[in-house]
């Protein structure tokens, strides 16, 4: 599996650390002091975003379908004796998680890999407590060059704000925040190409 192979060196990339910390900062600023809330990171990888939020939320459940990523995460949690982070190897599109309702669900650079957006966003709705929040951070709609080096990539080429807003609204969310908070730079044949990254936060206002 692609992400299993990358897991061991994932945390050695300073650009990944930077964007994880930037998203964590946005989440902190939006929720202010919310250390009574239970949070859930979808597609957590090695848990970089949650690592920066470990002292902010009461509990954090971290889910990924890459065994390699989860193993690296478990090693970090054990090494640093972190008590409020619970990693789970599972596929939310296939498996049902019997956990209590969550207050916040967040993900970073994950949703463009998910083909069935309707299903996963509906699943998030059922996992969230009423008035809980879904935070999606991902690429703004791009020309397909971001994953050009991945021949088998079959996901989404980023997201348009209005289209994602419409999808979330249909799935029981009210959009409360949107911001472009980062740019990913990649080398291309014509020089450095920049890919803006947004964060959108929707509040669950309806059961679906």
* 64-99 confidence digits (pLDDT tens): 999 999 999 999 999 999 999 999 999 998 888 888
- List, in order, residues 6 or more apart from 41 with CB less than 8 Å away: 47, 49, 50, 60, 61, 62, 63, 105, 106, 107
- Mean pLDDT confidence for 52-66: 96
Residue 14 pLDDT greater than 70, yes or no = yes
C-alpha to C-alpha distance for 208 and 193, rounded to whole angstroms:
39
Look over the chain and give the mean of its residue pLDDT values, rounded to a whole number: 93
Is residue 34 within 8 Å of 201, Cβ to Cβ?
no
Confirm or reject CATH 3.40.50.150 for domain 2-204, answering yes or no.
Answer: yes
- Mean pLDDT confidence for 38-57: 96
Higher pLDDT, 97 or 115: 115
pTM greater than the 0.85 cutoff: yes
- List, in order, residues 6 or more apart from 131 with CB less than 8 Å away: 203, 204, 205
């Amino acid at each position: 599996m692609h992400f299993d192979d990358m897991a061991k060196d994932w945390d050695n990339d300073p650009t990944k650390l930077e964007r994880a910390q930037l998203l964590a900062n946005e989440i902190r600023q939006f929720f202010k002091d919310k250390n009574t809330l239970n949070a859930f990171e979808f597609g957590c990888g090695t848990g970089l975003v949650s690592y920066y939020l470990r002292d902010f939320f009461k509990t954090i459940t971290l889910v990924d379908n890459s065994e390699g990523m989860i193993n690296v995460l478990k090693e970090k949690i054990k090494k640093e004796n972190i008590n409020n982070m619970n990693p789970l190897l599972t596929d939310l599109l296939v498996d049902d998680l019997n956990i209590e309702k969550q207050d916040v669900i967040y993900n970073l650079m994950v949703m463009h890999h998910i083909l069935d957006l309707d299903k996963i966003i509906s699943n998030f709705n059922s996992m969230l407590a009423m008035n809980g929040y879904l935070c999606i951070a991902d690429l703004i709609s791009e020309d397909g060059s971001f994953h050009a080096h991945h021949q088998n990539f079959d996901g989404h080429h980023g997201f348009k704000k209005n289209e994602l807003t419409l999808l979330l609204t249909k799935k029981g969310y009210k959009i409360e925040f949107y911001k472009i908070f980062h740019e990913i730079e990649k080398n291309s044949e014509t020089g450095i190409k920049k890919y803006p990254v947004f964060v959108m936060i929707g509040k669950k206002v309806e059961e679906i």
